[in-house]
Amino acid sequence: MLRRGLAIVCGTAAALAAGPLTALAGLSASTADLTFGQLAYSHVQLVNTGTLTLTATDTGTAGLGVTNAGWNVTLLASDFAYSGPYNGKPIPAANLVIVSAHPPTPVSGQPISPTGGPRTTGASGALNVARKTLQADGPSGILMLTYYGIGTYRQAIDLSLKVPGQAAAGTYTSTLVVTMTAGP
């Protein structure tokens, strides 16, 4: 029986040594590795699904002299590189799609504000282009500023991977670039 394993390798470990994790001081975002289940060889396109967990942290503190302009997190995938004995072709990053980005849950820090977030951006679509999945607004108010998103938050992101028919048996690996930037 021919089988192929599909994996997204991401996070802050050696798989991202080339620098795909981008954040400013006080801001960090990461994902755990996600491995799709193995599929039997097929002459027709198959679809594999999985759920990625994103963790975003803003360690800033609101107060005198602190500028918290809010933040956002984007995801971008590379093509899936083939590894195996059959001269397989890469699977394009466009075949990896965000199906649903769920509302975040607080881990620590500020509660989620219905007006300032953090919140999902409703992102969906192929990850061959950067997709913003999570956002916290900058401060609001005039005399007393209200800050949003200072803490750690998790977000579940449902993904779908289209595996082309007649894809060679082997392992396909993509690197997910997780970027957290200041600003709305």
Q: What is the pLDDT of residues 156-165, one digit of tens each?
A: 999 999 999 9
- Of 16-20, 129-133, 137-141, which has the strongest mean pLDDT? 129-133
Alpha-carbon span 42 to 28, nearest angstrom: 40
- pLDDT at residue 142 in the model: 67
Query: What is the pTM for the complete model shown?
Result: 0.82
Is the bond preceding 111 in cis, omega lying within 30 degrees of 0? no
CA dihedral of 43, 45, 49, 53, whole degrees rounded to 10: 110
Q: What is the pLDDT of residues 14-70, one digit of tens each?
A: 122 223 344 455 788 888 888 888 888 889 998 999 999 999 998 875 544 455 678
Q: Indicate the domain borders of the chain.
A: 3-170
What mean pLDDT comes out for the span 130-152? 83
Decide: 127 and 8 in contact? Cβ < 8 Å. no
